[in-house]
Amino acid sequence: MNFWQTQRVVVTGGAGFLGSFVVEQLRTEGCPEIVVPRAADCDLRDGGAIRRLLQRAKPDMVIHLAARVGGIGANQAHPAEFFYDNLMMSAQALHESWAAGVKKFVGIGTVCAYPKFAAVPFREDDLWSGYPEETNAPYGLAKKMLLVQSQAYRQQYGFNAIYLLPVNLYGPRDNFDPSSSHVIPALIRRCLEAKDRGERRLVVWGTGRATREFLYVEDAVRAIVMAAERYDDPAPMNIGSGHEISIRDLVALIVDLVGYDGEIVWDASKPDGQPRRGLDTSRAERTIGFKAVVPFEEGLRKTIAWYESARRPPAFAPTTRA
Q: Indicate the SS3 state at residue 236.
A: coil
Compute the distance between CA of residue 81 and CA of residue 30 in angstroms, rounded to an integer. Answer: 37
Work out whether the CA dihedral 134, 111, 177, 194 comes out positive or negative: positive
Give every CB contact of residue 198 below 8 A, 6+ residues apart in sequence: none
Residue from 139, 163, 216, 307 carrying the catalytic annotation: 139
- Buried b / exposed e over 172-199, threshold 16 CB at 10 Å, is bbbbbeeebbbbbbbbbbbbbebbeeee
- C-beta contacts of 228-232 below 8 A and 24+ residues apart: 228/61, 228/63, 228/104, 228/106, 228/162, 229/3, 229/4, 230/287, 230/288, 230/289, 231/162, 231/287, 231/288, 232/104, 232/160, 232/162
CB 28 within 8 A of CB 52: no
The enclosing H or E element of 316 equals none
Is 114 a residue of the active site? no
Compute the distance between CA of residue 262 and CA of residue 300 in angstroms, rounded to an integer. Answer: 20
Give every CB contact of residue 2 below 8 A, 6+ residues apart in sequence: 29, 30
Q: Which residues are catalytic, by number?
A: 139
